Amino acid sequence: MQDIKIRLASERVNHSLTFGEKGAPQLFTPGQTITDNQRVMSGHGTYLDEDNKDVLKASVAGTVERVNQLICVRPIKCRYMGEIGDVVVGRITEVQQKRWKVETNSRLDSVLLISSVNLPGGELRRRSAEDEQMMRKYLQEGDLVSAEVQSVFSDGSLSLHTRSLKYGKLSQGVLVKVPPSLILRRKNHFHNLLCGASVILGNNGLIWIYPTSPEDESGVGGFTQNLEEVIDTEDRERIARLRNCILALAASKLMLFDSSIQYAFEESLSYSIKELLTPETMVDVALHTRHRLQSYKDD
């Protein structure tokens, strides 16, 4: 049994890895003038001043990105802004007529229509009135799903679908929440990591860690939840370690994708899992991971 340790605020560790380093990008705050050049176009996170139409100002705090004439401000911290085709992880908050409300960390609640899920018994099955009454049997409040963004409504809320075997209700595992901007957009967001566990990196900043199932690919999906299965301790250790590693990377604002997570996992092996909860260790793991990522890039 470990002794309880209470730290002091004076010993607080700064998680920022670029702290004090040069070359940090310039930040803009809402209302700050970006440019008074008339020839630019106003993109996301910017607005044109009412009085002086030439002046472009930022509406969110973040870094400026420029594509030819288009100027955008990419917010540092924001809720998830969905795009069609994104993989998301969400939690059912409400069962309604013909649809589920899903919390996906975006500005508005997302919806999952009953017509956008694969019901048991084949893809081309007709949705009957019974199905509507059975909705809570398939997914109930609190359940987690992985899904894809099917369309974005005009008000910005998302419509999801799970019409693929890889999407569907999530079974046993751990959910980690990180800022959505830290998730690197990739072709594939489902990864069976080398370390022996699997992750779904939802574009919306929700990451699902679960044990790799022996029968590949078909592990998730559908509406089954195995509540009897007891995950063995080894899998559990991997999942716990991955969880702490991901949080360590997120605390130091490192991008999250399969290799960064795998590296962090490997770098963390010199510590015990619960040591990864302390700030010093978190920074150490993040530093080593960044180092490895950079050396890989240099090669």
Coil vs helix vs strand at 214: coil
Shortest reach from residue 276's CB to another protein, in Å: 7
Shortest reach from residue 101's CB to another protein, in Å: 12
Distance between CA atoms of 98 and 119, rounded to whole angstroms? 13
Distance between CA atoms of 23 and 76, rounded to whole angstroms? 17
* Nearer to another protein among residue 28 and residue 208 (C-beta): 208
Distance between CA atoms of 192 and 148, rounded to whole angstroms? 19
Distance between CA atoms of 109 and 98, rounded to whole angstroms? 16
* Nearer to another protein among residue 13 and residue 293 (C-beta): 13
Shortest reach from residue 290's CB to another protein, in Å: 21
Shortest reach from residue 113's CB to another protein, in Å: 20
Give the residue among 52, 10, 15 at the shortest CA–CA distance from 33. Answer: 52
Distance between CA atoms of 142 and 40, rounded to whole angstroms? 46
Binding site for another protein (CB under 8 A): 1-10, 12, 14, 91, 93, 141-144, 170-175, 225-227, 230-231, 233, 236-237, 239-241, 243-244, 272-274, 276-279
Distance between CA atoms of 242 and 253, rounded to whole angstroms? 16
* Nearer to another protein among residue 37 and residue 225 (C-beta): 225
* Nearer to another protein among residue 93 and residue 259 (C-beta): 93
* Nearer to another protein among residue 5 and residue 187 (C-beta): 5
Distance between CA atoms of 209 and 198, rounded to whole angstroms? 6
**Cβ neighbour number for residue 81 with a 10 Å cutoff:** 17
Shortest reach from residue 23's CB to another protein, in Å: 22
